[in-house]
Structure 1
Amino acid sequence: MRKITLELKWGLLFFAAIVGWTIFEKAIGLHSERIDRHHILTNFFVIPAIIIYVLALLDKRRSLGGKMSWSQGFLSGLIIAVIVSLLSPMGQFLIHQYISPEYFTNIIEYSVGQGQEREQVEAFFNLNTYIKQSMVGAVMMGAITSAVVAFFTKKK
């Protein structure tokens, strides 16, 4: 456990950033009156996500005495991604039960209004699908981000 304390810290910080971002999205109306822009603006989360990974891997490098190989950085980032993935079900439940319980209803109605089939839309926009997507997405995007950020934060 002691070996992944740093990754656990950054995984929890990343999780908090996701929840904070969702609160921000809801506050500016992306889950209600501006839901038509949600699919575009939600992608801007990539900016804080990359910043968090850079800070995490710089922290990892400091903990290794200022030297870190690409593989050490990549592995650390991958552990962070797995931690975020494991927290995802709880996060999705928290988001859709307490922070933005109207999101699925609003996005389904918007999508149907845009001409999509209700059955297909309801099959996609629900808690179970979002939990699966967030878990897989956290590992996939975390691995890619870790690979790139580790390249730039490695130091011999």
Structure 2
Amino acid sequence: MKYLKNIKIELKWAIIFTIMMLVWMLLEKTLGWHDAQIADHKWITMLFVPFAVFMYVLAMRETRRRFYNRKITWLQGFLSGLIITIFIALLSPLAQYLTHNYITPEYFENVKDYSITNKLMTIETANEYFNLNTYLLQSFFGALLGGVLTSAIVAIFLRRS
């Protein structure tokens, strides 16, 4: 039963992370990075990375404080981050659905038009790449990969004996 307390902490932070990601999408949309400024979208999206890492730090610090009595090994921290990562990956398709159906439904058409007009992709390639199904898969596997790497690195800095 004690470990359920830890999973509750990690689930809470995965939900907070997902909400923050949706707010970021709203910010991108509001600042025109999904339409007028779409050329900058690819690198602007990278500005989210420090916020994502910060969320992992906060989550793993809370786990260390509330579950491990302020002492945590790298492995314990990594496993905590891994659980957060799994929850985030499971929530990512929902976040993508909400993003592309409610926050920015015109994103796919805008990014396709930009890619084709600027000869970055053919029409066929753009249609295959920029659609909800592809983004659902990318967000799931991207969350897993990014979360595992972030967990491993953050756990190094948060370990305490």
**TM-score normalized by the length of structure 2:** 0.95
One of 139, 148, 153 as aligned partner of 2:153: 148
Taking the aligned partners of 1:132 and 1:11, their CA distance within structure 2 comes to: 18
User: How many equivalent residue pairs?
Assistant: 156
Q: Which amino acid in the other structure matches residue 23 of structure 2?
A: G
1:65 aligns with 2:69: yes
State the SS of the aligned residue for 1:101: coil
Taking the aligned partners of 2:60 and 2:6, their CA distance within structure 1 comes to: 14
- RMSD of aligned alpha carbons: 0.8
Deviation of residue 3 (structure 1)? 3.8
Aligned to 1:108: 112
Q: Which amino acid in the other structure matches residue 65 of structure 1?
A: N
Matches within 5 A, 1:8-27: 8-27=11-30
Q: Which amino acid in the other structure matches residue 143 of structure 2?
A: A
Identity of aligned residues (%): 44
Q: Which runs of 5+ in 1 are unaligned?
A: none
Deviations 1:101-128 (A, max 9, x none): 0000000000000112000011000000
One of 128, 131, 140 as aligned partner of 1:123: 128
Deviation of residue 99 (structure 1)? 0.4
Taking the aligned partners of 2:131 and 2:89, their CA distance within structure 1 comes to: 18
Deviation of residue 149 (structure 1)? 0.2
Taking the aligned partners of 2:5 and 2:45, their CA distance within structure 1 comes to: 34
1:39 aligns with 2:34: no
Deviation of residue 89 (structure 1)? 1.1
Aligned to 1:56: 59
Matches within 5 A, 1:80-119: 80-115=84-119, 116-119=121-124
Taking the aligned partners of 2:129 and 2:28, their CA distance within structure 1 comes to: 20
Deviations 1:60-90 (A, max 9, x none): 1101111001011000101111101101111
Moved over 3 A (4+): none
Taking the aligned partners of 2:123 and 2:85, their CA distance within structure 1 comes to: 33
Q: Which runs of 5+ in 2 are unaligned?
A: none
Aligned to 1:134: 139
State the SS of the aligned residue for 2:83: helix
